[in-house]
Structure 1
Amino acid sequence: MPAITEDHVTDSVADALQFISYYHPADFIRAMANAWRTEQSAAARDAMAQILVNSRMAALGRRPICQDTGVVNVTARIGVQAQLDWRRPLQDIVDDAVRRAYRNSDNPLRASVVADPFGRRGNTGDNAPAMLHVEMVAGDKVDFDVSAKGGGSENKTRFAVLNPSASVADWVVETVEKMGAGWCPPGILGIGIGGSVDKAMVMAKQALNEPIDATGLRARGPQTPEEALRLEIIDRVNALGIGAQGLGGQTTVLDVKLRSFPTHAASLPVALVPNCAATRHVHFSLDGGGPARLEAPDLSDWPELDFGDAWKDARRVDLDSLTRDQIASWQPGETLLLSGHLLTGRDAAHRRIEQMLAAGEELPVSFRDRAIYYVGPVDPVGDEIVGPAGPTTSTRMDRYSDMMLERLGVAVMMGKAERGPATVEAIARNKAAYLIAVGGAAYLVSKAIREARVLAFEDLGMEAIHEFTLKDMPVTVAVDARGSSVHESGPRMWRMPA
């Protein structure tokens, strides 16, 4: 039996990370397409259409589906009879693959991992290290699950130790209702039940790599308590009316994946890990015959979509001549096509602005009556102006809302997911607005960016303040100048009776 070498692992994992950066799993494409076909909420249907178009564009262009190209998660299941020709720890071997994949000049991926997490939080520059989990199993092969997990969905992970008599379904539904839209639904929920704290979390994360089969399961009917629980959770979560991007609609989850394990008699640990609309993972097996060969999805899996009809009545907005009176006329849920100049800035830029103001220093950029977009784009390649440039979760910027709106005079904020009550009040008080771009449509959004330049904080890399020149960038009005939020009105409209 030939040995599995370090090069086999490094080549395979590096190829897998490039592969999943631009290919959705085929089962995810089909499930999303089916949800789009049956969705009755116009706003949610448009969001899903953008996700599907973006997915096809990313596959054809071999560029990232999402600007958050994720933290690498690898599960390696090593057969106890496998012949291994390794001289280094598997962590080192996998990390070499991560560095190679994320620094690939043909398709560079965004480095999002920071070292010293409770201190300086300096970016490692290559997205290493990976989050590696190793298991010893029967057999003579080594199986790998490789995924890239974005921060928006990862940050919504939840864990609880329930009373043994408690309802897991009740806890999951209540938890999802409170999670907000920052995890970019529609997506998948991974649930781990039992074991210990760490075992439950690992099971929930690993369950996300299982095939989407909810439609087939429903057609044949559940045969185990676990399958019955999955269907109950799917139905009850979708009945909440949260919908795509939290805009209100019929589909919030495409599937719920569940694993369980024996646990202590006094405990019922439950972990919940959501996967977003940029679900990215692949499985392969190594047997010593060389690196893995990955099969690309068939382009026929994607529906043919055209935004001509969906956007023909959209309001076109010139950001360079925007007035507060124009902003006041926008309605929650309305689609806008933005053109003109836009500033960018997210966590690190906001933090530095705060520090400069506290020190009495002059800012390098004026935000007065400007629009700011919360984004950390991927580096461009070839003739690209900018790489994939989808929105980041806006709630992280809520602590800076008074500073940006009242002190600096920002007129429009853009990102994804809902804003907190204090920020919504500040938006109304300052007659501003909050817009959302579709999370999971980063490559599509980047095509609306015609020019890009760094204005300040270049040392922050992707978190520097850029100025983008736009042509018809699609966004949705999430909070209008009166403080009405589509993330409240949309789900309320589509919620089903209990």
Structure 2
Amino acid sequence: ADYVRYLTAAYHREESLAAKNAIAQILVNSRMAAFGRRPICQDTGLVVVFAKIGMSVSIDSAYSLAELIDEGVRQAYLDPDNPLRASIVSDPLSSRKDTKDNTPAIVHVDLVPGNEITFIIAAKGGGSENKARFTTLNPSASVSEWVVDTISTLGSGWCPPGLIGVGIGGSAEKAMLMAKEVLNEPIDMFDLLARGPSSPEEELRIELYTRINALGIGAQGLGGLTTVVDVKVATFPTHAASKPVALIPQCAANRHIKFTLDGSGPAVLTPPDLSDWPEMDLCGTLSGSARRVNLDTLTKEETAAWRAGETLLLTGKMLTGRDAAHKRLGDLIDTGRPLPVDLKGRVIYYVGPVRAVRDEAVGPAGPTTSTRMDAFTEKVLSATGLYAMVGKAERGSVVIDAIVKHQTPYMIAVGGAAYLISKSIKSARIVAFEDLGMEAIYEFEVEDMPVTVAVDIEGNTIHKSGPAEWRQRISAH
């Protein structure tokens, strides 16, 4: 609820129309997910558990703590009424086979005085996790300079507006652990700004909050006033020769919960109150400024007219494909074998949806980070005649060159609006690579799915022009 309150304040403060629309979609999506009791993002996360175990506690089980936690994760992620996406692969080096139940969890244990166990559990998305960074600075070097410089290079794949956790001191692993755990603290930047700092850590929080937002990155990297709603800092004593510094972003899907077990029975977890969310007319916001596109009759002449920053509402049939599917398509192209689906004249959406339940056509189905498909893009565009791509965040320079060469624009959907997007998907069927699970190629039929043109056929990119414009505007004030 604290994130929702801060994001609502950011929405009212935001002056960039593109960023304001993105924040509105995140807030509406979040409220819909709370009402429908479904995930706010299709990436339902790596489960990270911080367990504070009282030293007087006795756990009556033949299983280890990690095994007990994994069984809890298994039951939660396979709940037939609200299945979550299984994203964990068992072998990170070669086969990368999905474990099918999102286990194992990442478990951190502290022994503390007392006779209770306190759990802090976070569902950490891969897009923000992939932007974690670590360095060892010279003792006299500026932490602030390194953090701001690093944030400026991360792009928008971590789905801002969000939080930044910074761990300073200890050792390499201690700094990373602090940066991860501090993200679970309550968001309180407005209170801190109102009362003023009372420690060097709080001074650094305010400095970083101000300087990161001054970068103008904005919601989804579209340019705007709010890139972070808070910055959290944790410190620990360190070696005299060292200054370890870790940085971990937290995306707009800010999911964590804290509860205590004392042996008297299960913990009771209270659902959020829908009054925590603002009421918004998203349809009115989008429909007035958006171009409607029929995917079933799409032509190259139409896509050539799209311009970076423009909002589109897509209706018709589109294909999906993520990392594993692109790898297989690339292998087939390299060996001259036929592709299992014809991509000519089609639009492809980089997504791995949650499994549908009840009357859903598909579960939450937001975009994944597009840069992971960059290595395959030129090959796929050259071989298939694809018309357009939809994903999340910026593309690399090689892909922008390929977009211009093949006249194939790239659009973005809002990361953090997966449940909202799923409501625009009227049907879904697997058409290739069924064994890949959520990474299979689907055909979606969509109606008024909102996207923003991120790179047009002339190579203009909103992820460069938007932040540059707002960085200049902010500095002028």
1:313 matches 2:262: no
The one-letter code sitting in structure 2 at the alignment partner of 1:330 is W
In the TM superposition, what is the alpha-carbon distance from 1:84 to its structure 2 partner? 3.0
Residue 325 of structure 2: SS of its match in structure 1?
Answer: helix
Residue 219 of structure 1: SS of its match in structure 2?
Answer: helix
Aligned to 1:229: 204
Residue 389 of structure 2: SS of its match in structure 1?
Answer: strand
Distance in 2 of aligned mates of 1:49 and 1:192: 31
Q: How does 1:362-401 map to 2 (within 5 A)?
A: 362-401=338-377
For residues 49-89 of structure 1, give each alpha carbon's deviation from its aligned partner in whole angstroms, at most 9, with x where no partner exists: 00000000000000111000001000001111234323321
Q: How does 1:77-476 map to 2 (within 5 A)?
A: 77-311=52-286, 312-476=288-452
The one-letter code sitting in structure 2 at the alignment partner of 1:456 is A
The one-letter code sitting in structure 2 at the alignment partner of 1:421 is S
In the TM superposition, what is the alpha-carbon distance from 1:141 to its structure 2 partner? 1.3
- Tell whether the 8 Å contact from 2:330 to 2:380 is kept in structure 1 after alignment: no
Residue 152 of structure 2: SS of its match in structure 1?
Answer: helix
Aligned to 1:497: 475
Distance in 2 of aligned mates of 1:369 and 1:220: 58
Task: Kindly tell me the number of residue pairs found equivalent between the two proteins.
Answer: 473
Residue 11 of structure 2: SS of its match in structure 1?
Answer: helix
For residues 167-200 of structure 1, give each alpha carbon's deviation from its aligned partner in whole angstroms, at most 9, with x where no partner exists: 1111100000000000000001111100001100
Distance in 2 of aligned mates of 1:365 and 1:83: 56
Distance in 2 of aligned mates of 1:129 and 1:468: 31
For residues 199-232 of structure 1, give each alpha carbon's deviation from its aligned partner in whole angstroms, at most 9, with x where no partner exists: 0011000001100000111010110110010010
Distance in 2 of aligned mates of 1:246 and 1:357: 33
Residue 111 of structure 2: SS of its match in structure 1?
Answer: strand
2:41 to 54, 66, 69: 66
Q: Pairwise CA RMSD of aligned residues?
A: 0.9
Distance in 1 of aligned mates of 2:437 and 2:283: 36
Distance in 1 of aligned mates of 2:33 and 2:235: 35
The one-letter code sitting in structure 1 at the alignment partner of 2:217 is I
Residue 92 of structure 1: SS of its match in structure 2?
Answer: helix
Distance in 1 of aligned mates of 2:282 and 2:108: 42
For residues 363-414 of structure 1, give each alpha carbon's deviation from its aligned partner in whole angstroms, at most 9, with x where no partner exists: 1111112100000000000011000000000000000111121221111011
Bigger CA drift: 81-90 or 171-180?
81-90
Distance in 1 of aligned mates of 2:362 and 2:214: 39
Distance in 2 of aligned mates of 1:48 and 1:404: 32
The one-letter code sitting in structure 1 at the alignment partner of 2:369 is T
Distance in 2 of aligned mates of 1:478 and 1:358: 29
TM-score norm. by structure 2 comes to 0.98
Identical positions, percent = 60
Distance in 2 of aligned mates of 1:389 and 1:398: 21
Bigger CA drift: 169-178 or 327-336?
327-336
The one-letter code sitting in structure 1 at the alignment partner of 2:72 is A
In the TM superposition, what is the alpha-carbon distance from 1:240 to its structure 2 partner? 0.1
TM-score norm. by structure 1 comes to 0.94
Residue 362 of structure 1: SS of its match in structure 2?
Answer: coil
The one-letter code sitting in structure 1 at the alignment partner of 2:31 is R
Distance in 2 of aligned mates of 1:493 and 1:289: 57
For residues 71-112 of structure 1, give each alpha carbon's deviation from its aligned partner in whole angstroms, at most 9, with x where no partner exists: 100000111123432332100000000100000000000000
In the TM superposition, what is the alpha-carbon distance from 1:313 to its structure 2 partner? 2.7
- Tell whether the 8 Å contact from 2:42 to 2:365 is kept in structure 1 after alignment: yes
Distance in 1 of aligned mates of 2:59 and 2:78: 27
Bigger CA drift: 86-95 or 307-316?
307-316
- Tell whether the 8 Å contact from 2:88 to 2:98 is kept in structure 1 after alignment: yes
Bigger CA drift: 133-142 or 182-191?
133-142
Gaps of 5+ in 2: none
In the TM superposition, what is the alpha-carbon distance from 1:359 to its structure 2 partner? 2.3
Q: How does 1:40-79 map to 2 (within 5 A)?
A: 40-79=15-54
Structure 1 residues 122, 308: closer, same or farther in 2, change over 3 A? closer
The one-letter code sitting in structure 2 at the alignment partner of 1:444 is L
For residues 277-304 of structure 1, give each alpha carbon's deviation from its aligned partner in whole angstroms, at most 9, with x where no partner exists: 0010001111111111112222111000
Aligned to 2:457: 481
The one-letter code sitting in structure 2 at the alignment partner of 1:344 is T
Distance in 2 of aligned mates of 1:308 and 1:469: 19
Distance in 2 of aligned mates of 1:67 and 1:408: 28
